[in-house]
């Protein structure tokens, strides 16, 4: 979803979560997840503000943790602070399918799309490239 001529670039929020506390250089650490999302945003000419990077380190994916709660609270506010949520994998948002669906529906209601990274491609939560509607 590159920006169309004459339109504003997409504003992105990032969410990263680990179930265990990891060192920044460890595989799939919060730092690595955020950097991967930032790289994708830069490649697509999307904007990421550090104010909209939400993290939960050492937290279960079976509940809505504080970072995700803050993200959802801000997503619900109008005017929107961001247009799309980036995360490295759908299981970073939650490990419970029903919870993922509820979060996705809430984001959609708020007018916020979501993307997860797979390799270098951004995909929707359903696995298809493009914006979620």
**Residue 111 DSSP symbol:** T
**3 domain residue, yes or no:** no
pTM: 0.82
**98 domain residue, yes or no:** yes
Element containing residue 108 per DSSP (H, E): helix 97-110
CATH of the domain at 111: 3.40.50.1390
**1 domain residue, yes or no:** no
pLDDT for 125:
45
**Cβ proximity of 86 and 44 under 8 Å:** no
Range of the domain at 110: 11-123
pLDDT for 76:
97
pLDDT for 64:
87
CA distance 10 to 8: 6
**2 domain residue, yes or no:** no
**Nearest CA-CA partner of 22 in 31, 34, 13, 11:** 31
Count of domains forming the chain: 1
Token digits for 41?
């945003």
pLDDT in tens, the chain (133 residues): 455 666 889 999 999 999 998 888 888 899 999 999 999 999 999 999 999 999 999 888 888 899 999 999 999 999 999 999 999 999 999 999 999 999 999 999 999 999 988 644 444 444 433 333 2
**4 domain residue, yes or no:** no
Burial letters 26-40, b for 16+ CB under 10 A, else e = eebbbbbbbebbbeb
**131 domain residue, yes or no:** no
pLDDT for 133:
26
């Amino acid at each position: 979803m590159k920006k169309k001529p004459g339109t504003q670039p997409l504003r992105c929020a990032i969410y990263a979560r680990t179930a265990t506390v990891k060192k920044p250089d460890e595989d799939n650490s919060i730092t690595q997840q955020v950097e991967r999302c930032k790289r994708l945003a830069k490649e697509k000419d999307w904007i990421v503000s550090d104010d909209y990077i939400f993290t939960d380190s050492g937290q279960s994916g079976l509940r809505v943790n504080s970072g995700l709660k803050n993200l959802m609270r801000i997503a619900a506010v109008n005017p929107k602070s961001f247009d799309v949520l980036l995360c490295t994998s759908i299981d970073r948002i939650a490990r419970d399918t029903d919870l993922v669906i509820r979060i996705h529906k809430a984001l959609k209601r708020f007018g916020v799309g979501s993307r997860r990274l797979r390799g270098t491609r951004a995909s929707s939560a359903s696995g298809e490239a493009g914006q979620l509607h």
